[in-house]
Amino acid sequence: MTLEELRKQIDVVDRQLVELLSERARTALMIGHIKAVASLPVYEPAREKVVYAQVQEANKGPLPNIELIRIFERIIDVMRSAEMHELALEKNAQADASGSPATGLGRGGDDAPGHGTGAKAETDAPETGN
């Protein structure tokens, strides 16, 4: 294949990745809503470990597992941030409607355990995006 053909192939794959990541984000947002309604903890480290194990099991190369895990750590961070933002918007909207002040949920994700910028207590940690 030529360089131009290979680049076109990458462009197609990139568009597919965007579609899949959007689908994952929509699903993570739905999970966040279910957890909020059920008063479930938002951060589940065991679930995150399951995601990473499944990623490694599915990996057929050429990326090493450690690099693929790093990609998924970032995906989870972004999903968590989107979820926390969405939940904060909803909480603020509910507070506006009721006339009571809302407490912000924050961005989340930036202080996720094991992601380099400091760790939160497990009960305060943000959603894994799953």
Are the C-beta atoms of 83 and 32 separated by less than 8 Å?
yes
Domain tally, the chain: 1
Judge whether 42 lies within some domain.
Answer: yes
Report the Cα–Cα distance between both ends of the chain, in Å, rounded. 38
pLDDT of residue 106: 44
- Whether the pLDDT of residue 124 is over 80: the answer is no
Residue type for 42, please? V
Q: Does this model's pTM top 0.85?
A: no
Judge whether 127 lies within some domain.
Answer: no
Judge whether 60 lies within some domain.
Answer: yes
Judge whether 30 lies within some domain.
Answer: yes
List the CATH number of the domain containing 90.
Answer: 1.20.59.10
pLDDT of residue 43: 76
Q: ∠ at Cα 68 (15, 127), nearest 5°?
A: 85
DSSP state of 110: T
